Structure 1
Amino acid sequence: MTLSLAAGLAVADVVIVALYLGIILISGIWLARREPAGAEEYFLGGRRMPVWAVAISVVASSLSVATFLGVPQQAYSGNLTYLSTNIGGLLAVLVVAYFFIPAFYKHSCTSIYELLEHRFGPGAKQASSLAFMVGRLLASGVRVFIAAIPLAMVLFGIDQSKEPGYIVGAIVILSAVAVGYTLIGGIASVIWTDVIQTVVLIIAVLAAVWVLLTRIEAPTTEIIHALQANAAATAPGSASTAAQGSKLLIFDFSTDLTKSFTVLAAVVGWSLLNMASYGTDHDMVQRCLTCKSAIKGSRSVIIAIFSGIPVVALFMLIGLLLWVFYQRPDLTGGAPITYDIAMTDRVFTTFILQELPAGLRGLMVAGIFAVALGSLNSAITAMAATSVKDFYAHAVPGKSDRHYMIAGRWATIGWGVALAGFACLCIVWQKYENRTLIDFALGVMTYAYSGLLAVFLSALFTKRGSTASVIAALITGFLVVLYFNPTFWVGMSKLIPSIVESTRQTAQTLNPGKPVVVDAELIKEALPFLKLASPYHMLIATIAAFVVCQSVKGTGGRSLEKTKTPA
């Protein structure tokens, strides 16, 4: 494997990327000019971060490369219905701001799972912390994998990047850079570099929109009509991937439970997913805990959710314009493209490398780095914090604050290695499940989120539950989500004869005379319940886990339901 700029980066591009990385390095060194006094400053920034910076950091963490690549892919291949998931986000953050964050401040939590220790006992805290770390390892590992795709295209060339070995190389580079500057200054360093990286990201996205609009010569009315008609022109090198119906559709009011992005799914599923993300995921919540007070922490999460909507809308706009550019060459006035764009998960990166002029190409690559590092370093910091506060400090009590800070840095290195390892496994996993990047990334989160949300809801709003029921609820949430995973049933088909026979019959019906290859898509046809969209997995799993957690009367705990504050 050799490092080459086969993707066509010019000197100007390399200079811009180097300038960006230099700014990040210098800012990290400047922020680290004063060594963190102890674990609380390392993990909470001394609780003196401004609301606006925290809000930007929350946005940076919530976006990730799954947004940078996956959201344009969603609009390119489908429509704008992904935007409707913000209905669930708005509902969720109101609950988080009024109930979750004030409770964390009231009990002076460094790790949010310390709240569960107050309510249920130390065993519940450790079980929930472990569930978070497993879930965050899965979700952030997916993010590293997705981020490695464009990085591999840049470093090794578009054709070579399709080979797993080159993606592994990109994963190692990303992980090493993220761990390196996360070690420098803790959460404060992460938040301030997130601010810088978000500015770079927004500039890059606006530049991409500007270039696409200048390359499409047709009037705006014709572009809108083409998107409404959703009819791709046949052109060499272009393959229509658009779904049926208007590409400008935002609100889908259908009750089809196989669709992930409907209003129904947003209200009953995405609201729970967002509540879990902003209220039970330490990766997100730790930023809000760096504010001076609960009111300011609550304000930061509300500002973040509203600020994130236009950013996501920009990525959706890019996806629509990419569809016009590639599928309607009659509107661009240019010659038909001569390169392959069949892989829709790479359509935005392909456009960046093939169509953008020198300089702007480097800016977009810097944007990819920004969003990748912004989500990765925060995940590493969050997992390091929970490892030290919920496990190491319990096993090795009575040490100095500085001792636990050093332990946190070792945990940072360990989690960076673990994330890189799981990201490598995702190369096979995502290909096997054949899902869009954004759906794949969001679906992985539900494994831990459902159980964690059920446990926190029990802690905040009821007086029932115990350590044993908390552990059982976490396991229940994981198993219910696993039950709806097609890959799980592909494995089970090798053990259960009835599934094998059902799959075989389905295959013969769909493709008579062809060899039977059991994969995720075929399993879905044989077992229709697997077609249920991931937001409903979250709903069912959360309800099941909540019932399990409530099955035991509270043992010495107390309700936290009165812990709320106006935001």
Structure 2
Amino acid sequence: MQILDLAVIGAYLIATAWLGLRLSGKQSTVKDYFLGGRDLPWWAVSLSVVATETSALTVIGIPVMSYLGNISYLQLGVGYILGRVIVAYLMLPRYYDGEMVTAYAYLGRRFGPSTQTTAGITFLFTRLMADGVRVLAAAIPLKVILDGLGLHTSYFVIIVVLAVVTILYTFIGGITAVVWVDVAQMLLYVLGGLLSLVVITSAIGGGWLGEAIAAGKTQLVVLEGNPISGADSLIPSLLGGTVFAMASHGSDQLVVQRLLTCRSKVEAQKALIWSGVIVVVQFAIFLAVGLALWGYFDGSSPQELGLTRDDEVFPKFIIEGLPAGISGLLLAGILAAAMSTLSSSLSALSSSTVTDVVEKLRGRPLEAREGLRVGRWATIAWGLAFIIPATFFRSDEGNIVVLALGIAGITYGGLLGAFLFGIVNRRASARDANIAFVLAVATTTFFFVMEKYVTGEVWVAWQWYPLLGVIVTFAVGGLLSLTHPPVAHAEDRLDEPIER
């Protein structure tokens, strides 16, 4: 790293913060702070959705998949598009027709406040764990930079600094600032991926692609393998990816909050579907980067390169292989993108805390100013809380993308199952939904813990977690609903808009 690179990183982070604050506007109510007044253009929301769900995880995690394996991860992208289409026409209309602030307000309308609070608390815990991994993703390239300068710093110190800086940024800017910064960050790190391909090709020629093809690393469709435990197989990637996208984009407040900032339901649907297409293109770019790096490093393993984590391969090239200035720009993009994703999580967590937990436990809506104050304090609290899981997972040697998706998948099935169960089963009560939801989460948690901390073997691939949770929810909830008369309720009471 040269002084020019460090100057670029510093200048870009300052410019990003200025951009976010400049475009944030004023927030005087919860709706302003959490939904941007529902006045953001669909294309900006679409790019923000992509940046939020991938960001630093994509930049440093996706290349190592093709570096060590092949490009079969693209199979998952097809399922992601299908899942988004289903969400756009099945679930989004219910959120917009009810003028809701969070995804879990629908469960409150359908089953009552106990189910909404249960789902909200579960989201808070899972998002804390999954995005703790995202904080770690941001810390990885920064640690490589500092080690290269001889400034050996622990992951813990880096994680604390990133969390504190992001808290300050999110506390002031609100969701409007987060969305616009997401747009800038996504464009930057995708450009960085393309520049990396150009630099590698200029350095070693275009032969890396032919070598990758000859080595079987461009295999896209994987038909062999156990369809249950084989995470790279077509069936779990396609079907599991579809259900995973339905859960992540239909029941995860992190994404739903962005979609609710659009000006209309139609624009939200457009933003959601196009985000799926953009994600596939983004996956393809960074998988190509992984193949190019494989050629650049002559197929050396991460250990042979002197690295402690597989995910450090691309950061190593950024620092050692890119020209001065460009490496600083790309590293700045990785850090800022990760921080904007973390700020997205903070906004989603604080909005769910206010709407799904605090207001429901108090039994009344908070006044505009009071809700804004509680939301900002919640932002600070969750930002500090991220330090714990990020530090805990720093010793995990697996791929950081798979780790984050696996953690998120633990509760995705229960959340999606509760939504679909409420739509399909008109007999069900809050008790049925709550018990089914808890058992669904317990089931997926069992498989995750067994794989990561007990046996070390994959019994059920992470792509199946959401579908498994949906099946358990429908089975348990359906049986419980037969033990009592049908519950009388209005059609989700969506004709009663929430006044805020």
Q: Same fold (TM over 0.5)?
A: yes
Match of 1:137 in 2: 128
8 Å Cα contact 1:482-1:488 kept in structure 2: no
Match of 1:440 in 2: 403
Match of 1:183 in 2: 171
Match of 1:389 in 2: 355
8 Å Cα contact 2:83-2:245 kept in structure 1: yes
Q: Does 1:420 align with 2:393?
A: no
Once the two structures are TM-superposed, the CA of residue 42 in structure 1 deviates from its matched residue by 0.7
Q: 2:295 corresponds to which letter in structure 1?
A: V
Match of 2:106 in 1: 115
Once the two structures are TM-superposed, the CA of residue 144 in structure 1 deviates from its matched residue by 1.0
Once the two structures are TM-superposed, the CA of residue 121 in structure 1 deviates from its matched residue by 0.7
Once the two structures are TM-superposed, the CA of residue 490 in structure 1 deviates from its matched residue by 4.9
Once the two structures are TM-superposed, the CA of residue 74 in structure 1 deviates from its matched residue by 0.4
Once the two structures are TM-superposed, the CA of residue 316 in structure 1 deviates from its matched residue by 0.3
Q: Does 1:292 align with 2:263?
A: yes
Which residues in structure 2 correspond to 1:272-421 (within 5 Å)? 272-327=243-298, 340-341=306-307, 343-396=309-362, 397=364, 399-421=366-388
Match of 1:464 in 2: 427
Question: Could you tell me how far apart the structure 2 residues matched to 1:450 and 1:338 are?
Answer: 39
Match of 1:451 in 2: 414
Once the two structures are TM-superposed, the CA of residue 558 in structure 1 deviates from its matched residue by 4.8
8 Å Cα contact 1:458-1:464 kept in structure 2: no
Match of 2:208 in 1: 223
Q: Aligned pair in 2 of structure 1 residues 549, 13: CA closer, same or farther (>3 Å)?
A: same
Once the two structures are TM-superposed, the CA of residue 536 in structure 1 deviates from its matched residue by 2.5
Which residues in structure 2 correspond to 1:123-272 (within 5 Å)? 123-157=114-148, 166-217=154-205, 220=206, 222-230=207-215, 246-254=216-224, 256-257=226-227, 258-272=229-243
Once the two structures are TM-superposed, the CA of residue 64 in structure 1 deviates from its matched residue by 2.7
Q: 2:122 corresponds to which letter in structure 1?
A: A
Q: Does 1:12 align with 2:12?
A: no
Q: 1:151 corresponds to which letter in structure 2?
A: L
8 Å Cα contact 1:45-1:290 kept in structure 2: yes
Q: 1:424 corresponds to which letter in structure 2?
A: T
Once the two structures are TM-superposed, the CA of residue 44 in structure 1 deviates from its matched residue by 0.6
Once the two structures are TM-superposed, the CA of residue 29 in structure 1 deviates from its matched residue by 2.8
Q: 1:113 corresponds to which letter in structure 2?
A: Y
Match of 1:90 in 2: 81
Q: 2:253 corresponds to which letter in structure 1?
A: H
Secondary structure of the corresponding residue to residue 248 of structure 1: coil
Secondary structure of the corresponding residue to residue 230 of structure 2: coil
Q: Aligned pair in 2 of structure 1 residues 104, 188: CA closer, same or farther (>3 Å)?
A: same
Normalising to structure 1: TM-score of the pair? 0.81
Once the two structures are TM-superposed, the CA of residue 207 in structure 1 deviates from its matched residue by 1.5
8 Å Cα contact 2:349-2:382 kept in structure 1: yes
Q: Does 1:29 align with 2:21?
A: yes
Match of 1:59 in 2: 50
Question: Could you tell me how far apart the structure 1 residues matched to 2:312 and 2:149 are?
Answer: 9
8 Å Cα contact 2:411-2:469 kept in structure 1: no
Match of 2:498 in 1: none
Question: Could you tell me how far apart the structure 2 residues matched to 1:175 and 1:12 are?
Answer: 25
Greater displacement, 366-375 / 106-115: 366-375
Greater displacement, 451-460 / 343-352: 343-352
Secondary structure of the corresponding residue to residue 171 of structure 2: helix
Q: 1:267 corresponds to which letter in structure 2?
A: L
Structure 2: tracts of 5 or more residues without a match? 496-500
Greater displacement, 380-389 / 416-425: 416-425
Q: Aligned pair in 2 of structure 1 residues 487, 338: CA closer, same or farther (>3 Å)?
A: closer
Match of 1:480 in 2: 443
Question: Could you tell me how far apart the structure 2 residues matched to 1:392 and 1:90 are?
Answer: 35
Secondary structure of the corresponding residue to residue 327 of structure 1: coil
Question: Could you tell me how far apart the structure 1 residues matched to 2:226 and 2:145 are?
Answer: 40
Per-residue CA deviation, residues 200-244 of structure 1 (Å, 9 max, x unaligned), is 212222221111111113xx4x433311222xxxxxxxxxxxxxx
Q: 1:365 corresponds to which letter in structure 2?
A: L
Question: Could you tell me how far apart the structure 2 residues matched to 1:562 and 1:399 are?
Answer: 21
8 Å Cα contact 1:462-1:559 kept in structure 2: no
8 Å Cα contact 1:460-1:559 kept in structure 2: no
Structure 1: tracts of 5 or more residues without a match? 1-8, 231-245, 330-336, 492-519, 525-529
Per-residue CA deviation, residues 10-29 of structure 1 (Å, 9 max, x unaligned), is 12111211221121121133
Q: Aligned pair in 2 of structure 1 residues 11, 209: CA closer, same or farther (>3 Å)?
A: same
Question: Could you tell me how far apart the structure 2 residues matched to 1:160 and 1:549 are?
Answer: 55
Q: 1:14 corresponds to which letter in structure 2?
A: L
Question: Could you tell me how far apart the structure 1 residues matched to 2:360 and 2:467 are?
Answer: 34
8 Å Cα contact 1:74-1:438 kept in structure 2: no
Secondary structure of the corresponding residue to residue 261 of structure 1: coil
Q: Aligned pair in 2 of structure 1 residues 338, 215: CA closer, same or farther (>3 Å)?
A: farther
Question: Could you tell me how far apart the structure 1 residues matched to 2:443 and 2:109 are?
Answer: 28
User: Where has structure 1 moved over 6 Å in runs of 4 or more?
Assistant: 158-161
8 Å Cα contact 1:255-1:264 kept in structure 2: no
Question: Could you tell me how far apart the structure 2 residues matched to 1:21 and 1:464 are?
Answer: 53
Per-residue CA deviation, residues 111-144 of structure 1 (Å, 9 max, x unaligned), is 1111111111111110111111111111111111
Per-residue CA deviation, residues 56-86 of structure 1 (Å, 9 max, x unaligned), is 1001011132211110010100000000101
Secondary structure of the corresponding residue to residue 292 of structure 1: coil
8 Å Cα contact 2:209-2:292 kept in structure 1: no
Per-residue CA deviation, residues 400-439 of structure 1 (Å, 9 max, x unaligned), is 20110111000000110111211111123x24xxx22222
Q: Aligned pair in 2 of structure 1 residues 177, 489: CA closer, same or farther (>3 Å)?
A: closer
Normalising to structure 2: TM-score of the pair? 0.92
Greater displacement, 462-471 / 384-393: 462-471
Question: Could you tell me how far apart the structure 1 residues matched to 2:259 and 2:466 are?
Answer: 24
Provide the alpha-carbon RMSD of the alignment: 2.3
Match of 1:556 among 485, 488, 492: 488
Larger Rg: 1
Aligned pair count reads 487
Q: 2:369 corresponds to which letter in structure 1?
A: R
Per-residue CA deviation, residues 356-384 of structure 1 (Å, 9 max, x unaligned), is 22111101211211321121111110010
